[in-house]
Structure 1
Amino acid sequence: MPKSHASEIDVLILCGGLGNRLKEVVRDRPKPMAKINSRPFLDILVDYVASYGFKRFILCIGHMGGVIRQHFKNKNDGLTYVFSEEDNPLGTGGAVKNAEPLIHSNPFMVMNGDSFCEVDLTRFLEFQTTNESFVSMVVIDAKDANDYGSITLGDSREITAFNEKDSAGQPQLVNGGIYLFDKDVLQLIPKMTKFSLERDLFPKIVDRDFYGYLADGTFVDIGTPERYRQANDILCDKARSKADKV
């Protein structure tokens, strides 16, 4: 597999969810636009990814998508933004399939629009190339995994199993919400159908060069009011620490 450069890779961000669990604290905007330290969460994601040299972003929008479109369409930051809009919620996999006509690169990156995972994306891209992966997933070691299903990795970092949520809350490997897909993955996702990457695709491709890249940086998500508040505290602390070093 030829080496890919970040500037050539499309980054697809999933921004179309309804965000029902967060509505009690974020009512006037879609979940990825929730404010963290007075900035939209989605801006933080884009800036982080762009810092590794990625240039082209496909924003998959749905619920209140006009807010995202308006925010990004006139940005003058040297990046390219295109929009893939869903008329009805299609799930994470359906959103990727809906964006297929806009995806130019192979591989391409997909990431959740409501979580932030601190990972070296240059090394992640090299990992994909070295393993000639069908799919590569960023995997994190969660201290309390009771809100997430866990992942089993083999000796060569191949993903061998997806496991149900563990109510005991023990440390386990979990999905970090960032993926690199070979474009042939799109053939496995039905058109215009609600389809989940996590439930309908990933468990079925564990025998197809599916690898997990272990990250050890900060991970936050803003899916619930409690986790949103935690994310705000963590990312604000990181921003202050970074400012102090300048």
Structure 2
Amino acid sequence: MSELQSAEAVVLVGGKGTRLRPLTLSAPKPMLPTAGVPFLTHLLSRIREVGITHVVLGTSYKAEVFQEHFGDGSALGLELEYVVEEVPLDTAGAIRNVAHKLRERDVMVFNGDILSGVDLRAVLDTHRESAADVTLHLVKVEDPRRFGCVPTDADGRVTAFLEKTENPPTDQINAGCYVFRREVVEAIPTGRPVSVERETFPGLLASGARLQGHVDTSYWLDLGTPAAFVQGSADLVRGVAPSAALPAAVGDAIVLPGANVDPGAVLTGGTTVGAGCTVAAGAVVDGSVLFDGAVIGEGARVERSAVGANALVQAGSVVSDAVIGDNAVIGARCELIGGARVWPGVVLPEAGVRFSTDA
């Protein structure tokens, strides 16, 4: 009998992933192929690994994609249920929207675009040992100025929720993983957008509720941008970030079945080569994600980039810190660097985009 038997999970996967376009034009962000499987698979596998089996997905954008892929969850040893958010309800509203599916005392809530190495069992232990109403995973980061900060007292109780500031009083930030007592979820207002950060948590603090922090320095990454998405995938492949769902052993690269990689090509840095891809002789693919069916031509170089399904990067091209949409064609000897994004189906002619003059 699992010690987490009286806990269940909610995963919020409703966002449109606009910062990740054009990758998210064809799939919701949590379903993007990450180290060989949809990103959400990694999170669900970690939830299952600690003994939680009932998971409710709060969906919205392209909601049908989740159910089509995961079904009832039995393939992962889970019981999955789905609740579609018809209008945007913000973070707390989305949690309240799934309350009718909940049945356990403690509810672990996850943002579906966070890659984390936190010990989930330890978070739940902190929640129960402190008899908290809500427990927040707080991660220490080197530069907290980009985030809202969450200070705690000597007993680990949360004392405030602070907006982004140039001089943050603490290096602890909200890591997007919580444990709620179910009554707290049921007390969130219905029928309108509600934010956990701006309304629910400050309101609980003001009412004297116990909000507990579980503070650690574990691996943590918000996969909201193309650079972070590519980094997260590479970190999973290399074993820097934990997962129970990798389709192959950790290492420099994962090559999925049906891919054709020439012996003269170099794969490194946690690269993923999707099913049916082709990587030609002399090509170098470093720390990148090749979606299914992508083709990398002779001598091409792809670094820290995502190349969409069935896209073609022709001979001698350089794709660095860039995103190539599905079915796009990057002509020979093009150079795409520094955040370039090519939309699906776009065709760039030979040497049509360059940053250097030696065409």
Which residue pairs with 1:85 in the alignment? 84
Distance 2:24 2:145 in 1: 24
Q: Map Cα deviations across residues 179-237 of structure 1 (whole Å, 9 max, x no partner).
A: 11012212431112111112221122223110000122110111122222222222222
SS in 2 for 1:63: coil
Identity over the aligned pairs, expressed in percent?
A: 27
Q: Answer with 141-150 or 62-71: which moved more.
A: 141-150
Distance 1:20 1:132 in 2: 38
Distance 1:224 1:86 in 2: 23
1:69 equivalenced with 2:29 (yes/no): no
CA gap 1:77/1:116 in 2 versus in 1, 3 angstroms: same
1:119-198 equivalence runs, <5 A: 119-167=118-166, 172-198=171-197
Q: Map Cα deviations across residues 96-130 of structure 1 (whole Å, 9 max, x no partner).
A: 11101100011111110010221122222111111
- Number of residues of Structure 1 aligned to a counterpart in Structure 2: 242
CA gap 1:183/1:91 in 2 versus in 1, 3 angstroms: same
CA gap 1:72/1:239 in 2 versus in 1, 3 angstroms: farther
Match of 1:126, as an amino acid? D
Higher RCO (C-alpha under 8 Å, 6+ residues apart): 1
Distance 1:240 1:160 in 2: 30
Which residue pairs with 2:220 in the alignment? 219
Given the two structures, how large is their TM-score scaled by the length of structure 2? 0.63
SS in 2 for 1:89: coil
1:229 equivalenced with 2:227 (yes/no): no
Distance 1:182 1:118 in 2: 23
Query: Gaps (5+ residues) in structure 1?
Result: none
State which structure, 1 or 2, has the greater radius of gyration over its C-alpha atoms.
2
Which residue pairs with 2:304 in the alignment? none
SS in 2 for 1:26: helix
1:203 equivalenced with 2:166 (yes/no): no
SS in 2 for 1:195: coil
Distance 2:133 2:178 in 1: 10
Distance 2:23 2:131 in 1: 43
The 8 Å contact of residues 109 and 179 in structure 1, kept in 2 or not, is answered as yes
CA gap 1:143/1:102 in 2 versus in 1, 3 angstroms: same
Distance 1:241 1:42 in 2: 13
Which residue pairs with 1:13 in the alignment? 11
Which residue pairs with 2:22 in the alignment? 24
More helix by share: 1
